[in-house]
Amino acid sequence: MSSKHHSLIIGAVLAALLLLVCSIATKAQTTTSVDWSAMDSVLEKVREDYHVAGFSVAVVQKDSLLYSKGFGFSNYEDKLPATPQTLYAIGSSTKAFTAGLIGKIFGDSLSLDDKITQHLPALRFQDGRESQVTVRDLMAHRTGLSRYDLSWYLFNTSNRDSLLARVQYMKPTATCELLIFITTSCT
């Protein structure tokens, strides 16, 4: 099977899972109880039918966690089970999640052109550029930081402050002057 075909299948599975979870979550809003065990069996069947090693699902309504469960394995070779706490490297999907959540949470109280330190005062860059970086810069990956995926993947923590503090040790690969030129040339 080609990698393109494999990616399309995984995308279809994830879309189907999303639709299933959304429909059950919608039902949960209109009824007092939901049979989550029925969802367990459907999700396990999807995992098996599409030969997916593992995934985790959570259904959240407002401030309440209604359902969370891992299916299959987080590490197939070592047969480590997937749990609701399993971290997954989901690549660029997080960009869309982040943009959507920022819009939902902050609405009109946040401008894309706000300086990031207005919202994350503890954020520090190695060269002090935090005073020039905007929310838009962060969301467009225009801070001058290269990929530091392993900083969370190998040294993961549930402490957001720890992750934020790591930024000051990451060496920028582009100067602020170049970023300003790129920003003004692209807008």
pLDDT in tens, 46-95: 899 989 999 999 988 888 898 999 999 999 999 999 999 998 877 778 78
What is the C-alpha end-to-end distance of the chain, expressed in Å? 41
Q: What pLDDT shows up at residue 32?
A: 57
Sorting pLDDT into bands at 50, 70 and 90, what band is 19? low
**% pLDDT > 90, the chain:** 20
Query: pLDDT, tens digit, for every residue of 146-159?
Result: 766 666 666 666 66
Output the CA–CA distances (angstroms, integers) from residue 163 to 86, 147, 155, 169, 187, in the order listed. Answer: 17, 14, 9, 11, 30
pLDDT beyond 60 at 41: yes
Rounded to the nearest integer, the mean pLDDT of the chain is: 77
141: left (phi over 0), alpha (psi -120 to 50) or beta: left
Q: Which of 37-46, 101-110, 117-126, 155-164 has the lowest mean pLDDT?
A: 155-164
| 3-state class (DSSP) for residue 58 | strand
Task: Give the pLDDT mean for 137-146.
Answer: 81
Q: In the structure encoding, which two tokens stand for residue 14, read together?
A: 């994830």
User: Which tokens in the block code for residue 7?
Assistant: 């990616």
pTM score over 0.75: no
Nearest to 83 by CA among 56, 58, 60: 56
In this structure, what token pair is assigned to residue 178? 């170049």
What's the CA gap between 116 and 107, in Å, rounded?
A: 16
Distance (Å, whole) CA 17 – CA 88: 16
* pLDDT in the model for residue 150: 60
Separation CA 45–CA 140 (nearest Å): 38
